[in-house]
Chains A and B, each alone.
Chain A
């Protein structure tokens, strides 16, 4: 599991790749904390290379979503695959996030 955070224009883009399972979620928690610092901005979670997400990963997404709302920023989730979409649907996350 890798995460790469870049600035693309006025957006902060986090590229997630691999399996966001429980141990991976623990490993990238600091990265998400760093993103939360910039939650006032426009953040995009690019999941084009994300294969799998567990509930621990979902928790990270949710925390960031709350921060973004509280700081008046914008959070979008980009390019999720079918499996992840299925998970989002099961958990109701599909309506919590702006999927692009």
Chain B
């Protein structure tokens, strides 16, 4: 851009200077042309006068005998020669005896509009023309002579210039001088030619330097150009003086215009650059904004995902409860939700779908979830909870008219009774234990949340038997589309569920997800997809006849306290508590530290309690899918050794073997299985 500007300005400068030169030349040309024209005019006038003077002289030469006729000749001459203001003959001394001087003279007299010719004899003592240079030179030259300008007191009483020609008699002797006067005032019109510029000045000088037409009284040293022409015939010098600024007036004007245009052009360029720059900045800003929005959306997704329950395995307090849920949002953030938590021996859970997608839906989703948590903290009646949530959502501030379909359930862990309320959501499906056919849960049709405040919701109740699974989903599942725009549909869902076998809630959901993915293929996910399943495996009965407990942990020793809580929950006889803790901690720590070198993995601890007549037997199984590792093969320490000789390790498995009645290891199905048995006799 700057380069362009420089080039542009450079071009303008070059143009300026060449224009200047051109104008200079133009001035010169103009001046010279006019000078020559003036010269021509002067020459014409001069030639005319010369002709007249010559004729005069010739005619005088033929009329020397009749001096009176000389006046007539003069009169005619003056009359018919426009530029001749006066004419006369100056005779040699005593030509016409007894007169010494004889100068017949006629001149023009102008008064007002009228011009008259006055004639007379003007030679005399007061006009002693013998002394005059023009007389002396005139009679010796055989050609016309032009005199220097002079002021004629006697005759015309003006500045004159005269042309002389000798008068010769029939013998060829010069007897007189014929002279014609040209008033310099007449030359003024010639001078008008020389006005080549409105403010130029001109001058006419005679050969001697006598100023015929003067220049104005100014200092012509600087800033002026002078052009001259020399007129040979009269010996005059014509000069034209032009001020520079007049010469370059055009240039100045043009220059000004060009400069202004240049600046305008430059300004336009600058504006364009500025505008483009602004646009670029705007584009960059937009790009940055977009990136920021995308990164914020991904953070929002993480926050949203963190709002959902993520901690599976089942609750340490309720190992019989298996629950698993997952949300797959269509966009970065979605409007589906599910949540569950335990309070006072009741499981509160919900699944829902906010109308719409993206950020607005996700905000409503977050609000709905927090309403769920807040109302379930002091209400356990599903109809009441849902009604309160609805009143809040349908109240002020819902100008967007976003509504939420919701299924809310309260499962009493001690009785297995499930109270629920369905607010316009897809009916959950009951999967009885074994392979009995699945049935949708019977749901009354209530309005979704956020439609009308004050709606009266109806609740229902059913019983969830041990081993029964409740499968919940959002319409993202039924409406999942493939590239042919077919929907997954209830039939496929039912078929998938029918083939569930013994799948745990997690396995169920993973299998369903795989089925949807296989169905959808390349098609983009159009709606949020949420799946949630829960199952209560065994009942917590007080006498614990045949009971199974399980706990899933990551290979992280920080989870050891969780193990302790689980053991606490099983409810061992007090004297067994500490030893079992010790033994299990040792066995589990070993697995955590060694089974998954460098990776993460799961450690499963299970307890089977067998109540028999003679007593109770606790069978603990610790299994992992890590590298083959048999802790029973470790060397036992020599406990009789002194401290100095005792190696630090090996103590763990020793304790296990000390405490437990049986310790066995097997590697089966790519798993390490360590079985610890402790019997208690009544």
Q: Interface on A for B, CB 8 Å cutoff?
A: 19, 21-23, 26, 52, 54-56, 58-59, 62-63, 65-66, 69, 83, 86-87, 90-92, 96
Known: A52-B581, A92-B640. 10 other contacts (CB 8 A): A21-B585, A52-B578, A52-B582, A55-B652, A66-B643, A86-B579, A87-B582, A90-B659, A91-B658, A96-B642
Q: Is the CB of A21 within 8 A of B655?
A: no
Which of B77-85, B399-407, B514-522, B554-562 lies on the face that meets chain A?
Answer: B554-562
- Taking CB atoms, residues of chain B closer than 8 Å to A65 are 643
| Contact of B468 with A by CB under 8 A | no
**What distance in Å separates the Cβ of A76 from its nearest Cβ neighbour in chain B?**
14
Asked, given contacts A22-B560, A55-B652, whether A69 binds B643 with beta carbons under 8 Å apart, the answer is: yes
Q: B593 — nearest CB in chain A belongs to which residue? A: A22
Residues of A within 8 A of B557 (CB): 22-23, 26
B589 in contact (CB, < 8 A)? yes
| A98, B646: Cα distance in complex, Å | 17
Q: Is the Cβ of A55 less than 8 Å from the Cβ of B655?
A: yes
Residues of chain B with a CB closer than 8 A to A58's CB: 651
Contact B648 A54 (CB under 8 A): no
How far does the alpha carbon of A26 sit from the alpha carbon of B589 in the complex, in Å? 12
Q: Is the interface of B mostly helix, strand, loop or mixed?
A: helix
Is the CB–CB distance between A62 and B582 below 8 Å?
no
23 contacts between A and B (CB under 8 A): A19-B561, A21-B561, A21-B564, A22-B560, A22-B585, A26-B557, A52-B581, A54-B586, A54-B589, A55-B582, A55-B586, A55-B652, A59-B648, A63-B648, A69-B643, A86-B578, A86-B579, A91-B639, A91-B651, A91-B655, A91-B658, A92-B640, A96-B642
CA distance A19 to B581 in the complex (A): 11
**Docked pose: A71 CA to B582 CA in angstroms:** 32
Q: How many A-B residue pairs have CB under 8 A?
A: 60
Query: For A23, what are the chain B residues with a Cβ–Cβ distance below 8 Å?
Result: 557-558, 560-561
Contact B585 A59 (CB under 8 A): no
Nearest CB of A to B635, in Å: 14
A83 proximity list for chain B (CB < 8 A):
578
Give the number of residues in B that approach A within 8 Å (Cβ atoms).
26
Distance A54 CA – B659 CA, assembled complex (angstroms): 13
Cα distance, A77 to B639, chains bound together (Å): 18
Q: A69-B643, A90-B655, A92-B640 are in contact. Are A62 and B560 (CB under 8 A)?
A: no
Question: How near does chain A come to B437, taking the closest CB pair, in angstroms?
Answer: 48
A96–B654 contact, CB under 8 A?
no
**Residue of A with least CB distance to B577:** A83
* Contact partners of A96 in chain B: CB under 8 A: 642-643, 646
Give the CA-CA distance A91 to B649 in the complex, in Å: 12
How far apart are the CA atoms of A90 and B646 in the complex, in Å?
A: 15
Chain A min CB distance to B567 (Å): 11
Residues of B within 8 A of A66 (CB): 643-644
Per-residue 0/1 for B610-654: is the Cβ within 8 Å of any A Cβ (1 yes, 0 no)? 000000000000000000000000000001101110101101101
Chain A neighbourhood of B644, CB < 8 A: 66, 69
Q: Which residues of A contact B564 (CB under 8 A)?
A: 19, 21
A21 lies within 8 A of B560 (CB): yes
Contacts of B581 in A (CB 8 A): 52
**Min distance, Cβ A62 to any Cβ of chain B, angstroms:** 6
Closest beta carbon of chain A to B536's beta carbon, Å: 31
Interchain residue pairs A-B with the least CB separation, the first 3: A92-B639, A83-B578, A55-B651
Q: How far is the CB of A54 from chain B (nearest CB, A)?
A: 5
Bound complex: CA A90 to CA B660 (Å): 12
- By beta carbon, the residue of chain A nearest B648 is A59
Known: A22-B585, A96-B643. A91 touches B654 (CB 8 A): yes
| Complex Cα spacing A26 to B639, Å | 24
Nearest chain A residue, comparing its CB with the CB of B588: A22
Neighbouring B residues of A63 by C-beta, 8 Å: 648
**Does the CB pair B578–A62 fall under 8 Å?**
no
Q: In angstroms, how far is the closest chain A Cβ from the Cβ of B657?
A: 10
Q: How far is the CA of A90 from the CA of B655 in the complex (A)?
A: 7
The CA-CA distance from A87 to B586 in the complex, in Å, is 13
